[in-house]
Chains A and B, each alone.
Chain A
Amino acid sequence: MVFEAVRGILRAMRATRPPADTPMDEESELVRKARNGDRRAFDRLVELHLPQVWATVWRVLRHREDTEDVVQEVFVTAHRALPGFRGDAKLSTWLHRIAVTRALNHVEKAEEKLRRASDPIDLEAVDGPRAIGTPLGALEAKELMRRLADCLAKLPVAWRAVLALRDAEQNTYEHIAETLHIELGTVRSRLARARASLKDCVEGRAA
């Protein structure tokens, strides 16, 4: 239990710290310069926030090349919209919202959302008949991660986005609701269903 608690604290710290350990005043200065058209300053901001944006988009899309496209779009959009960035939220929060929105739009645009949402999770494809009914607790870490990757890719993107924002990035329910433009109750229900479906899939049971 202590180990879980420590890991939770570390995760929370990792989720809230500024990217690349950049002092906030330095970032504010970069934002100010970039808003005035300083391209080098914006390049520096890209460098600082690229890993975080990349991770967010990848967790939603789980497709390397689509992620590359969307990450480019995120920064081009941010560059264009930067003059309107008032600084009410942190730049990382602002970029995070753009990243999630762009990633979901990308899926919608590709009509992948419909396909993935309508595809039932194919347990045979995940692990074959021998995986049926294996309790999650009995899986070794390496096997768990392998099944997890397969099952996450098969989840409806709306569920996967909630999972990514909550479990991977440790965002609050309120932040998730705001980012995804959904009600708090929808966050709760999606998260519960996503976790239950993911668990069933990983264990090799019908969702």
Chain B
Amino acid sequence: MTDGANGHPREGLSEYLDDQLGVEERTAMDRHLASCEDCRAELDALRRLAGAVADEEVPPVPLDLAARIGRSLDAATIVRLPRRRFVVPATIAATLGAIGILVALQWRDGHLVAPATPELQEQDRAIDESKRANLPSSSVATEGTLTARQTRPEKEAVRRDALDKDVKSSDEPALEERSKQKKDEGVQGGVPGGVASGGAAATADDKRRDLVLSKVVNEAVGVAPRELAPAAAPTLARKSEAVSSCMDRWSDSGLRGSWDVPNVDAAERQLGRIAHAVSGIGLWRGVADGRPYVVVVPRDRFEEVFYALRARGVTGLLEPPTLAKGTDCTGISVALTVVAEQTSPAPR
């Protein structure tokens, strides 16, 4: 029992109130209370206060909170199912991607070896003979050989077309429309994806954005990315282990985007999928003012998500900021505003 000011056992009164004192201490306290009017008054006040704390009304549970919890759980479940389904295909795709990169490196260095079919071996022999006879090789090369030795710009064009298809098929028409608009306005890099700005003129920055966008978009819709480096395989496998880390510790990136959508549920699902595709988590906070959806993502995947959000039409995200030192995960706030469908096509 600790004596407080003026010898009154103030701390002891709290324990006395809760019947936490031992027999001797309680007896001593009883004796003190019998002779100390101040402490009796203090005890009565503490008792009344404790009663008031117990009787204090708690605000009612918001009517839609259970539904919001359900949506958060949906967002978590949506990702888990495809993750299991696509682990093997993703691994295969990553392996094929690695092989593709090796082949591309060989081709770039001029060491591409054509498939050793008898027909091609025959063609190679003809080329060698024509070289020895100082004849132009194109005169003996067949159409099949030209296809096999497709030029680099052609390959890039094919890849860009494929990326275009991916984004269009997996995302909303709004993206296509915005890309077109940006292209018309001559804005470079506004929509990630030099996807829209096109071809051989794309800058290195555009290409980098293409890559990060395609990774996030493909993973978000459950499609194994075509162009992942071999290191992507362990990344995909890691997702299931790391899915909870962002729930425990995250800091605010300071980014505040806004998104006009006709269908909040669909938008929320999309944001949830993006978050979970990078082992993050989406926190649904409602559509009222100042209640943004928060996409919480690992810091090392922050840039991918930044561009993916911009690609979907989230405004206010100008450039990825330099993240301050802090937790392993960071949150991007996206305020959802419901607009009429005529002004903004629905996200799918």
A9 to B329, CA, bound (A): 46
- Chain A contact residues (Cβ within 8 angstroms of B): what range? 35 or more
Contact call B65/A71, Cβ cutoff below 8 A: yes
Count the B residues whose beta carbon is within 8 Å of the partner chain — how many?
49
The residue in A80, A149, A152, A193 that gathers the most chain B C-beta atoms within 10 A of its C-beta is A80
B110 is an interface residue with CB less than 8 A from chain A: no
Of B46-54, B99-107, B308-316, the stretch lying at the interface with chain A is B46-54
In B5-23, the 8 Å CB interface with A consists of 10-11, 13-15, 18, 20
The answer to whether B58 and A148 have CB atoms under 8 Å apart is no
- Judge whether A79 and B76 touch: CB under 8 Å: yes
A108 to B77, CA, bound (A): 28
Which residues of the other chain, A, contact B50 by a CB distance below 8 angstroms?
A: 166-167, 195
Q: Nearest Cβ in chain A — how far from B299, in angstroms?
A: 15
Contact mask for chain A residues 30-69; partner B; CB cutoff 8 A; 1 contact, 0 none: 0000000001001100110011001100110000110011
Q: Is A121 an interface residue (CB 8 A)?
A: no
Q: Output the residue of B2, B42, B48, B286 with the most chain A CB within 10 A.
A: B48
Q: Report whether B15 and A192 are in contact in the complex, using a CB–CB cutoff of 8 Å.
A: yes
Inter-chain contact A54/B45, CB cutoff 8 Å: no
Chain B facing A: main interface SS = helix
| A42 CB contacts on chain B under 8 angstroms | 73
Tell me if B244 and A80 are in contact (CB < 8 A). Answer: yes
Does A26 make an interface contact (CB < 8 A)? no
Q: Is the CB of A144 within 8 A of B247?
A: no
User: Is A148 a contact partner of B66 (Cβ separation < 8 A)?
Assistant: no
Whether the Cβ atoms of A192 and B53 lie closer than 8 Å is no
Q: Is the CB of B65 within 8 A of A199?
A: no
Q: Determine the distance from Cα of A86 to Cα of B262 in the docked complex, in whole angstroms.
A: 44
Asked if A198 is an interface residue, CB under 8 A from chain B, the answer is: yes
5 A-B pairs besides A4-B47, A188-B15 with CB distance below 8 A are A76-B76, A152-B56, A170-B54, A192-B2, A192-B11
Which 5 pairs, one residue from A and one from B, show the smallest C-beta to C-beta distance? Answer: A192-B14, A167-B53, A192-B11, A136-B45, A167-B50
